[in-house]
Structure formats: C-alpha cells, structure tokens
Amino acid sequence: MKIGIYPGTFDPITHGHADIITRSLRVFDKVVVAVAPNPSKHPLFNLAERLDMVQLVMKDVGQVEVTPFDGLLVSYVERSGAHAIIRGLRAISDFEHEFQMALINRKLAKTVETVFLMPSEEYSYLSSTIIKDVAQHGGSLSDFVHPEIARRLQARIRSLKS
C-alpha cells in the first residue's frame, strides 16, 4: 500500500486543500493528513479544532486519515511507514520554498520523496491566510471553504472582535 503524507497547518482547511487530498488518492492508496501545531504561524484555531475541521471536510472520502504531528516531518514520515510527502504548488513563488524544503528533507532522509501537485485551476489562488482575510472583512466564504468551516471561521472572527 502506497501512503502519502500531506502535512500542513490547515488553519482552516480550504477547498484547495481538499482538492489536493482527493487528487492525491489517484497516486496513493492512502493519504494521511498530518496537522501541525505550528505556533509560529499563530493559528486562529487550536490543533484539536483544526483536526476536527479536516475530519469533517474529508469524512466522505475513503482512505484518508487525519492525525496530528509535531517535530521533524521526515522523522514522522519514516515512523509512519509512508512513501512520500505531498505538497501543493499554487504558483512559482510556492515552488522556491517547497523545492528548498524537498531538498533538505531528502538530505535528512534519503528514502523520503516529495510529490508536488498543482491544485485544480479554480483553487490555484486559495490560501488559508487569504480566506481568513476575507472572513475578517465580512466577505462571502461559500466558494472557498465547506459551509461548516465558514460558520466556524465567522464565529471565531466575531468572538475576537468582541
């Protein structure tokens, strides 16, 4: 069984993330969505909330497991028995950073490969940061995230403004 690990903060999960996860199943028998705490990014949602949101969005997609992870990604990949890291590339600007990460990961763990997937065209501009900005300014989220994620995001934004 070929297993791919799709790591990220997922603060929150977007349609673009879900697209990469679903399309990864064309390459891998199983995809593990590894949600990182990543306090340096100052997430809007805590780790448990982000895990729950990813599970909610992916609940109807078979062969997807959602887990937390902390520490060095390649160590997690090796411990889990996975075959590759899955990364999405939205634009040329993503490539430079992701390429550097793939090279350092390969240096740290020679057996760990990185597979890059481009999102479907309609999601190529999406990022969690942009979605949070839209929410903070009262914009519609219906084209970007699952309805329940939109509700939770709007509620969180309201609670922070109170």
Residues with active-site annotation: 17, 41, 90, 128
- Structural contact between residues 56 and 31, judged by C-beta atoms closer than 8 angstroms: no
Nearest to 7 by CA among 72, 100, 95: 72
CA 144 – CA 124 distance, rounded (Å): 11
Question: What's the token pair of residue 136?
Answer: 């903070």
CA 82 – CA 114 distance, rounded (Å): 11
Distances (CA, A) of 87 to 40, 44, 120, 134, 157: 20, 22, 14, 24, 28
CA 44 – CA 52 distance, rounded (Å): 14
